[in-house]
Structure 1
């Protein structure tokens, strides 16, 4: 990695960016699905929604943890000329870039309720909960290591540990406007 001036986004904020929209869209889709009788009936649909929620949350929370751990262990120190992107800007950019995918996922979850009421909404909400749990795990790791993890903004498009990502940068625990884990700093 070069040491030129680069814009950096917090890894935990990027992970957490999808949690809230997926959670709320999933809950709304599951609520709409609970109103529909569906082909299988409400009881079976809502039980399958609960099962899908648990499985999706667990899988999302643990998938690719090894890659996060590897990049966190090999993180290089951010340079003085690096620009640290605000939490609000990172959230806005992530959500704007994926707003159509979020809308399509919501419509697919509502559409699946005609067959299996609430199942698609439970799946979406589970993915959102899993992303939030992963951000909390990253925050715990950042507190233990006393170093916040950052990622170049031009690598964010494929996710925080996508194929384009070559590594993380680190700063002290007080850098930026987001607390460890990507939450708003109080």
Structure 2
């Protein structure tokens, strides 16, 4: 489940950083200094809003999580990330373009707003990962409940989370790739 939360973090963050860098090259209507200060404020606001959004729903679903049954269909980390990014590809392409275009009015600000959204998603995935470690389980969303195009691991169609052991699957707590020991 944290994999789906984390799937958009890296593309949004790095696209935002690149858009802010490109936006710094354009003087804009307000100037670079005001654009940079506004961007820093927007970064912090976006980070907080994305991080705190729907945490109550996540906590309720974590509290009522049931052990995954044999018939529950759970998918690998790579498949989940690929499905989420494929479902959101237009947003992932248009958002940086809009951030760069906004640089002609307020330089840097649009890119930092986008980067703040990505950082907020990463922090939310880390928060879920801490809850997974505390419970000693990995949280999953059944594939038939998860609408990859909507990208809502705690949306209306999700009736509950499923749990497996901490060593199950190819994802570590928090949605990161599981690190395996190199064979010598």
For residues 26 and 156 of structure 1, the distance between their equivalents in structure 2, rounded to whole angstroms, comes to: 27
The alpha carbon displacement at 1:155 in A equals: 3.1
For residues 109 and 27 of structure 1, the distance between their equivalents in structure 2, rounded to whole angstroms, comes to: 10
Contact between 2:73 and 2:142, CA under 8 Å: does it hold in 1?
Answer: no
**Structure 2 counterpart of 1:118, from 108, 111, 124:** 108
Instruction: Report the count of equivalent residues.
Output: 176
For residues 97 and 17 of structure 1, the distance between their equivalents in structure 2, rounded to whole angstroms, comes to: 11
For residues 31 and 148 of structure 1, the distance between their equivalents in structure 2, rounded to whole angstroms, comes to: 37
| 1:1-186 correspondence to structure 2 within 5 Å | 11-157=1-147, 158=150, 159-186=152-179
Q: TM-score, normalised by structure 2?
A: 0.93
Per the alignment, residue 5 of structure 1 pairs with: none
RMSD between superposed Cα atoms in Å = 1.0
The alpha carbon displacement at 1:81 in A equals: 3.0
Gaps of 5+ in 2: 180-184
Contact between 1:84 and 1:176, CA under 8 Å: does it hold in 2?
Answer: no
The alpha carbon displacement at 1:67 in A equals: 0.3
Gaps of 5+ in 1: 1-10
Q: TM-score, normalised by structure 1?
A: 0.92
